[in-house]
Amino acid sequence: MTKNFEDISESADTPFATENPVSIIPLGGLGEFGLNIMVYETENDLIVIDTGFMLPSSDMPGVDLIFPDIHYLVERQEKIRGILLTHGHEDHIGALAYVLRQLDVPVYGTQLTLAIATGRLREYGVLGKAQLNTIAPGDTVELGDFSAEFIHVTHSIPDSVAIALRTPVGMIVHTGDFKFDMTPIDGRLSDVQTLARLGSEGVQLLISDSTNAERPGQTPSERSIYDTIDNIFQKTEQKLFLCTFSSSLHRIQQFVDLASIHRRLVAVTGRSLLNNVRTASELGYLDLNPDYIIDARDASQFKPHEVVILTTGSQGEPRSALALMALDNHSFLKVEQGDTVVISARIIPGNEKSIGNVVNHLLRRGAKIYHERNANVHVSGHGASEDLKLMLNLLQPKFFMPMHGEYQNLMRHAELAESVGIPSENIRVAEDGELIRLTPETCEVFGREGRSGRVLVDGKPEIELEDIVLRDRIQLSQDGILIPIVILHSDIGTGANNAGDGSGAIEKMLTDIDDVDKIIQTDVPSKTALSAGQIEIISRGFVYMDKSEELIEEAKEITRRVIENLSDEQKHETEIVQDEIRGALRRFFSKQMQRTPFIFPVVMRV
């Protein structure tokens, strides 16, 4: 489990010091859940596996999505031979449109994966330029120095694959997300025979999913929740709401099958769920009886026990269908006394509070709630420790590197690898941005890509949010904002009396922000050289002005003294005046209140 790190460089300018090694660069997915993107590179060629995004946490106000920083790829786009996709979950394909806006490269994926990706590509206006190539498990694609073989694995979405890369230094197997489900919904087992064959050929490096490395045993089959859901159907006398991830198609198939058995019509709500159900049905990955499918807008026309509603919102997303129903804000669906809601999805770390809020509101509406913590209504699509050991034993790699998960998941997976016989010196626990060089004899971390990281998106994908803007938003959300407005008279030495004291300018500014009722007039000193006229202070989210008059008056006086202590030359430099006011008020409020608001001085001249 050693982490060899020779800090020879902060960039990847010279990753090929030995004869045609393979460099492996995780641009995302090592140290977090989501944002999965891995780069494999030789001196002449480069391929990318997956392009996922990540949803923001609660401490990222105003951030809509998080994409991986792909400067490394943009700088080497002439070498890129293709993007390979393992499956259709957003944490693996959600950034594809963002990537293809900047790179013109071919994309390879299974039929369902590409069909799901197509919707987002169309939405972001890049479908026309996308070079989409459909592959099937068992296919092999030649990509310069790389030969990619696709192997079927079971997961919570159909058409998932692992990828075996034959390279100049040996075989690399990238598992993608997987588990060994012995009774899969679609009847398609993981291709254990091919995995064993690859192991007998010799695997130089295995890079494997660590999501459930800390869970003991083997992940149960998707079918293991069937009886529980069936029992809920039997007990529910009114409306039944089933909430899951929009891409959990095996789960959705079970819901639809049970609805048919219990003679309930199925209504689907939520844009992503509607799109995925439609796409999977058209391609044959979902078996739907059209006689049992109704428009969600028509659900109220049937008796409550005749309807089941499939919906999104399993992570408590504020604008999701379930969250709107919980607040009785949905335009045509209601959760009422006696209804039952099943949240059939894993609670992603960080979303506990938002999910809890939704559950609380649903309970207030009189609903019965089932979720993974009080009923067997969810099973993971990722292998637990015994699944991971089985993959290690099938492939018997010389070197091993865990991927997908927080650092604790990676470390636990490394321990599992050591427990099945891989020497600790052959195990590499890497993180985003580190450069791993693979040769026939070594696998070493040898540097760091200086421009790896995250791109925060506010609204449209082309609107990137700088870190400093996020820091400002966080400070504003925690401590509020204070705006000192200062008038500096610029009639130096003239003694003119027709310039006014600047109160008109301040009144207009305060009126513009609906704060005119908080104007407190101050005496204007006689004008000599550059002097301070009227001073006002506006607070938003820091203190309540009407109950903090003494504090604000003292802050005004400090501001006035700061200006008086400046030389005329300094008073002519707006940035100097702002910096001095900001510093003085920060010290004052920190001492008085142990809080420091975002201070934005406005300096005006009349």
- Strands 265-268, 307-311: parallel, antiparallel or unpaired by DSSP? parallel
Closest by CA to 229, choosing from 216, 218, 240, 213, is: 240
Q: Which CATH number fits domain 480-605: 3.40.50.300, 3.30.470.20, 3.30.310.80, 3.10.20.580?
A: 3.10.20.580
Q: Give tens-digit pLDDT for 537-571.
A: 888 777 766 678 888 888 888 888 888 888 877 88
- DSSP letters, 452-490, are -SEEEESSSTT-EEPHHHHHHHHHHHHH-EEEEEEEEE-
42: CB partners within 8 A, 6+ apart: 16, 20, 21, 22, 23, 144, 145, 146, 167, 168
Distance CA 256, CA 488 (A): 71
What is the 8-class DSSP label of residue 253?
H
Catalogue the active-site residues.
Answer: 209, 382
Which CATH fold topology does 22-217+381-465 show? Metallo-beta-lactamase; Chain A (3.60.15)
Distance CA 207, CA 203 (A): 11
Closest by CA to 120, choosing from 53, 183, 56, is: 53
pLDDT of residue 537: 85
pLDDT of residue 491: 53
> Do residues 362 and 341 make contact, with C-beta atoms less than 8 angstroms apart?
yes
Distance CA 290, CA 508 (A): 62
pTM given for the model: 0.78
Architecture of domain 222-370: 3-Layer(aba) Sandwich (3.40)
Q: Give tens-digit pLDDT for 455-466.
A: 877 655 555 555
Q: Give tens-digit pLDDT for 203-256.
A: 999 999 999 999 999 999 999 999 999 999 999 999 999 999 999 999 999 999
Q: Which parts of the chain sit beneath pLDDT 50?
A: 1-17, 492-503, 506, 509-528
Domains of the chain, residue spans: 22-217+381-465, 222-370, 480-605
pLDDT of residue 529: 53
pLDDT of residue 599: 85
- Bridge partners, 67 (sequence order): 455
pLDDT of residue 490: 61
